[in-house]
Structure 1
């Protein structure tokens, strides 16, 4: 008698290991394609991100300035001399010290030097027991009041007049964060040339003096202190303006600007098809007026609150770079 052995049933395909391996591979491929497409789309958008930088047409104040460095200087100074050669016996003052009129500054065997006015000791060029000659300036005394001073060039002096406003900062004080107001009080019409400064750009030019009413005494009493100064030589207020770099000119020197675009898939496709971003951008003809240090007046062509493209890169290929 024979024994019947039934054949084992075949596993359905979805129960086989290789089927699920193929499913996993297929899903991974789909995910990879989706991620790749997303990355490529984002890369395309990133290439045009610079077109999203825009500025708004607005009313503002435009200034044209002269920027320079000025030095704190005593309003008046005088040098004190001996009437005859002598040895210094007493020197009761020091540099920076404030003195009153007739206060003793120096004594020798022969004479006593006194302060001719209320002031501040700016220089002392001797020591006790030194033998000094009569022609040697021993002490330089300055007024307690001071001003900022610089030497203007030939081009600068033509734009400077008494009464102009100055913006002042002191880099060495509070990292230059504090701003002070000043006024031009003197513009020399005779050029000064220090022989020792020729060829070095030193004290040579037209002397200009600036006073400030809100600088603290801790600064104004430091003779020789350096300050950054911007003198407003011209300005217009409450006018429509844009940063000067936004204004473009064509081959005929006509001025225009590009309006800020909406950078989306449609825009990018058109830009890639035309080969030039500028062919897709919308331009507007404008006229300009007063030009300041950073901004330019817009006299026609734009309205307040319009958005203008801040920067664009000229294109000559099918890609934006």
Structure 2
């Protein structure tokens, strides 16, 4: 009985072992998780405008300029306008100390008026005597001439007095902007000192030079933008010379610019449009690749659902701006151009289209986002492996 029991137990153990071996041998292979496909975003060509700017250096000059000179020697008593200030014709800019000359001129004027009054009274008395026949006409004419001479002296003294008053005040000879002022309150300035300049109001002149290639593209009236520091002003081309400067090989160009606070001779940066295209097919510059100096893009070719492959397409490019480039040929309006980038991009690479594609989204400078693999993707991978 004991041997029989042992025999049965042994058979059971062997059976269990064989069962586990059978399960082990017949166990199906584990499902292989499908590797996520790289995702891409796409855009299409868009109609738009492209312009190419040229940046140059220029120099500002005034169409009308006045030099402010000190007509007397004296101390600066008051300063009414600072550098860069707008002034109107006749408006005071500064006041110089000219009191001694003014006082002397005033005294001379008062003396001349007193002498003129005496001469006038004497002439009036002699006129009555002449009428009564007590003096000759010749004596009256002599007195009359003296009275007129005194009147002339009064006018001269008055002019001198007014001139001294005028010389004490530095006034604007025209509307404009005060530049290069050296006025300092309390400082002494000799007669004839240049105190500053006044740039006439209105447009200023911008002078610059361009190459032969660029001069052929410029037009009278074409706009320019002038910048210096944080200031920006607009203007237009008024003169394009057809004669180059031998020393530089460049062509002089002049433009009229709205009145600025830039001093005469200021160096400024200017920009102008040297070429442009309107209503042309465009793509962002950063979706264009180059190989052997030939431009190309990757387009998304759909295979199933949101999956597809990349196809390389060569392009013929036109005008290239800072952000957009003109597409002359190589693409159709329906082509989905890949606008994102990853390190697995090549002709024929399998990819998956990211949601919201077709808009200006990622660029090839942005990191590529990965998406989880869907059940349909897993099944397709299983079928391939099977």
Shorter-chain TM range is: 0.5 to 0.7
Alignment of 1:1-321 (within 5 A): 44-45=36-37, 48-49=38-39, 51-52=40-41, 54-67=42-55, 76-83=64-71, 85-108=73-96, 109=98, 111-112=167-168, 113-134=170-191, 136-146=193-203, 158=215, 162-166=220-224, 182-185=235-238, 209=255, 211=257, 223=262, 230-251=271-292, 253-261=293-301, 280-313=309-342, 315=344
The TM-score, its normalising length taken from structure 2, stands at 0.47
Instruction: Number of aligned residue pairs: give it.
Output: 244
Quote how far apart the aligned CAs of 1:64 are. 0.8
- The 1:148/1:129 distance shift into structure 2, 3 A limit, reads same
CA distance in 1, matches of 2:54, 2:46: 25
Quote how far apart the aligned CAs of 1:65 are. 0.8
Deviations 1:247-273 (A, max 9, x none): 33333x4433211355989959xxxxx
- The 1:114/1:266 distance shift into structure 2, 3 A limit, reads closer
Quote how far apart the aligned CAs of 1:170 are. 9.8
**3-state SS, counterpart of residue 90 of structure 2:** coil
What residue ranges of structure 1 are gaps of 5+ in the alignment?
A: 1-32, 192-204, 213-219, 269-279
Quote how far apart the aligned CAs of 1:79 are. 2.8
CA distance in 2, matches of 1:137, 1:157: 41
Structure number having the greater helix percentage:
2
Deviations 1:150-203 (A, max 9, x none): 866769975655432346899959xx9xxx975344678888xxxxxxxxxxxx
Q: Alignment RMSD, CA only?
A: 5.0
CA distance in 2, matches of 1:123, 1:150: 20
Which residue does 1:21 correspond to in 2?
none
The answer (yes or no) to whether the contact 1:69–1:228 under 8 Å persists in 2 is yes
What residue ranges of structure 2 are gaps of 5+ in the alignment?
A: 1-29, 99-163, 246-250, 352-367, 369-386
Deviations 1:11-44 (A, max 9, x none): xxxxxxxxxxxxxxxxxxxxxx99x96xx85xx3
The answer (yes or no) to whether the contact 1:70–1:148 under 8 Å persists in 2 is no
CA distance in 2, matches of 1:236, 1:140: 44
Which residue does 1:277 correspond to in 2?
none
Which has the higher relative contact order, 1 or 2, with Cα contacts under 8 A spaced 6 or more apart? 2
- The 1:55/1:134 distance shift into structure 2, 3 A limit, reads farther
CA distance in 1, matches of 2:291, 2:221: 40
**3-state SS, counterpart of residue 282 of structure 2:** strand
